[in-house]
């Protein structure tokens, strides 16, 4: 399944994340980012996909720009420390693809395969967000608030007119980035819970799309004509990404909303994030309803893969919040 070189680069990729997360100095954290970048570039390039070279080059140039900006901020720390933190924060926002520095993210996602895309949406964001959580000051908190609001709105509006599933998922990732930036301001546990929940939900969606090789909106209408439960699970997983209660994707957003209310944070900030979440739910519902209701051409053979049961099990994790009351009954 995996080549030895791919296993090696995957190991060094995770090693780079671990070095950045556990480092005690900015230089070591920067080295971890570079190790992570150099390990991900060979994983992005693929001879099977003709668009991967373009996406790899775009990703490398953007990440190299962010790394060079982090290095350029070192002289600023000798004079004005807050200015140095601000420059590092802007570079990290560029690395994770948060608005208004998000323009590279959807084109790169469009040119990579689904496994590479889920890695880009999840693992590649751990190290920069961890570094951002160490940059808390009045000025950086204001920049994070503006970026969070813009990420939520851009991720919601950008996905409205998309027909490619990878671009829809990428704009959804930008929207979730806005929520993660908001969760990061409260405490480290909050954004960790949100990130893990998002990674689980996004992985369940990508697993189904990758197994059925779905890259365009039109393919959803002819997907598994004889497997309605799998199609229903896919759309419920998409709604879970949008934050539909009582699915798994709603729980971290609920926790962030509670923190906003209890801490007395900006209500306008929370309102912008909720507005963006409703827009993402709208375009997921539009995809689901049109694909389930419109008639599709019949085929002579089923497109069901042999691992359809595993796909159903992967999507069923979105219903885990429904089991929480029963778990509490068993505990008490």
Higher pLDDT, 210 or 291: 210
**Quick one: pLDDT at residue 312?**
66
List phi, psi (to 5°) of 46: -145, 140
For the question of whether the overall pTM of this predicted structure is more than 0.85, the answer is: yes
The per-residue pLDDT for range 120-163, each reduced to its tens digit, is 999 999 999 999 988 888 888 899 999 999 999 999 999 888 88
The per-residue pLDDT for range 216-227, each reduced to its tens digit, is 877 776 665 456
Beta bridge partners of 216: 164
pLDDT, averaged across the chain: 84
**Quick one: pLDDT at residue 304?**
44
In this model, does residue 90 exceed pLDDT 90?
yes
- The stretch 71-90 carries a mean pLDDT of 81
Residue 164 DSSP SS3:
strand
Distance CA(113)–CA(133), nearest Å, equals 30
Burial bucket for residue 142 (CB in 10 Å: 0-12, 13-18, 19+):
exposed
In this model, does residue 311 exceed pLDDT 70?
no
The per-residue pLDDT for range 13-33, each reduced to its tens digit, is 999 999 999 988 888 999 999
In this model, does residue 194 exceed pLDDT 60?
yes
Extents of the domains making up the chain = 113-331
In this model, does residue 105 exceed pLDDT 70?
yes
Q: How confident is the model at residue 308 (pLDDT cuts 50, 70, 90)?
A: low
- The stretch 224-243 carries a mean pLDDT of 76
Q: How confident is the model at residue 78 (pLDDT cuts 50, 70, 90)?
A: low
Least confident of 75-79, 208-212, 302-306: 302-306
Distance CA(191)–CA(140), nearest Å, equals 17
Largest Cα–Cα separation, the chain: 72
In this structure, are residues 118 and 43 in contact, taking their beta carbons and an 8 Å threshold?
Answer: no
Answer left, alpha or beta for residue 264, where phi above 0 means left and psi between -120 and 50 means alpha: left
The DSSP output letter for 266 is -
In this structure, are residues 169 and 117 in contact, taking their beta carbons and an 8 Å threshold?
Answer: yes
The DSSP output letter for 294 is S
- The stretch 292-296 carries a mean pLDDT of 61
């Amino acid at each position: 399944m995996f080549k030895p070189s791919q296993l090696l680069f995957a190991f060094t990729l995770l090693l780079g994340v671990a070095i950045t997360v556990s480092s005690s100095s900015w230089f070591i954290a920067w080295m971890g980012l570079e190790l992570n970048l150099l390990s991900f570039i060979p994983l992005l390039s693929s001879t099977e996909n003709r668009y991967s070279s373009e996406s790899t080059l775009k990703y490398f140039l953007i990440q190299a720009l962010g790394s060079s900006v982090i290095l350029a901020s070192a002289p600023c720390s000798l004079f004005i420390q807050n200015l140095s933190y601000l420059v590092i924060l802007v570079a990290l926002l560029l690395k994770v693809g948060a608005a208004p520095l998000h323009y590279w993210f959807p084109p790169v996602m469009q040119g990579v395969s689904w496994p590479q895309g889920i890695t880009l949406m999840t693992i590649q964001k751990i190290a920069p967000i961890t570094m951002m959580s160490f940059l808390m000051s009045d000025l950086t908190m204001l920049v994070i608030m503006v970026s969070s609001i813009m990420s939520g709105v851009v991720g919601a509006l950008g996905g409205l007119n998309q027909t490619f599933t990878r671009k829809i998922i990428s704009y959804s990732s930008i929207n979730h980035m806005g929520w993660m930036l908001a969760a990061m301001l409260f405490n480290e546990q909050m954004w960790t819970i949100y990130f893990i929940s998002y990674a689980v939900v996004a992985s369940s969606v990508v697993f189904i799309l990758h197994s059925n090789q779905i890259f365009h909106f039109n393919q959803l209408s002819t997907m598994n004509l004889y497997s309605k439960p799998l199609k229903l699970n896919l759309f419920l997983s998409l709604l879970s990404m949008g934050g539909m209660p009582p699915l798994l994707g709603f729980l971290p957003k609920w926790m962030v909303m509670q923190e906003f209310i209890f801490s007395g944070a900006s209500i306008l900030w929370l309102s912008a994030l909720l507005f963006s979440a409703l827009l993402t739910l709208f375009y997921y519902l539009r995809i689901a309803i049109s694909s389930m209701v419109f008639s599709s051409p019949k085929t002579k053979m089923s497109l069901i893969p042999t691992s359809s049961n595993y796909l159903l099990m992967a999507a069923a994790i979105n219903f885990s919040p429904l089991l929480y009351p029963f778990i509490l009954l068993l505990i008490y």
